[in-house]
Structure formats: structure tokens, C-alpha cells
Structure 1
Amino acid sequence: MEEFPDNVCFASKLLFKWTSVLPAWLHDLTLGLLQKRLQSQGKLLVLLPLKIG
């Protein structure tokens, strides 16, 4: 980020065919915390859906 200050970060939101509450919640929580941290630094995070199974 220091070398390229105008970068854009990408992350994926996993979409499972079967839904298990705990892993889905933990993954969403992690993405939310990462997004808040990057946003506080003035960085952009783009979330892309990724269908699994």
C-alpha cells in the first residue's frame, strides 16, 4: 500500500449452497472488520460474491 497509495483491495463473499450459520457468520464478521480497517485508512475494499458448491 505504501508503494501504490491509490490501490483498490478485493475480497470475496463466499456463497455456499448449504448454509452453516457459524462459518458464514465468522466469514462475514472478518470481512466487515477488514473493510472498516481499510476504510479508516482511506482505502477501498470491493466485495465480490463467490458461489461454492
Structure 2
Amino acid sequence: MKGYTTLAGRVAYERADGVTVSLSGQNLLRERQVLAKTTGLQSERRILLSVSKTW
């Protein structure tokens, strides 16, 4: 299997009232990445928006 490179990242903003909003992504360089040639397993690009609150 040929080597490959992936890129992932996260950007977040935390407000004074404890609310955090974040945007994270995985496999940002390509739409799909083949992980195992024999099984055809592929990893798709994923982008997530998250909102959390601490008390």
C-alpha cells in the first residue's frame, strides 16, 4: 500500500459564560482516503460543529 498524508484540525471559541463553540475536521486534504487496499476500507472527510457548556 502506498503511503499517504492526512490533515485534521480544530478551531474553538470559549465565551465568558462557559459556552464553547468549535469546528473540527478530519481528512481535510481529500474527500476520501483509502485505508486498506485489500478490504477497500475508506475514510471520508468529516466536519463537525460542536456547542458545549460548562457549569
* TM score, norm. by length of structure 1: 0.28
* TM score, norm. by length of structure 2: 0.28
Q: Which structure is higher in strand share? A: 2
Higher relative contact order (CA 8 A, sep 6+): 1
Q: Which structure is higher in helix share? A: 1
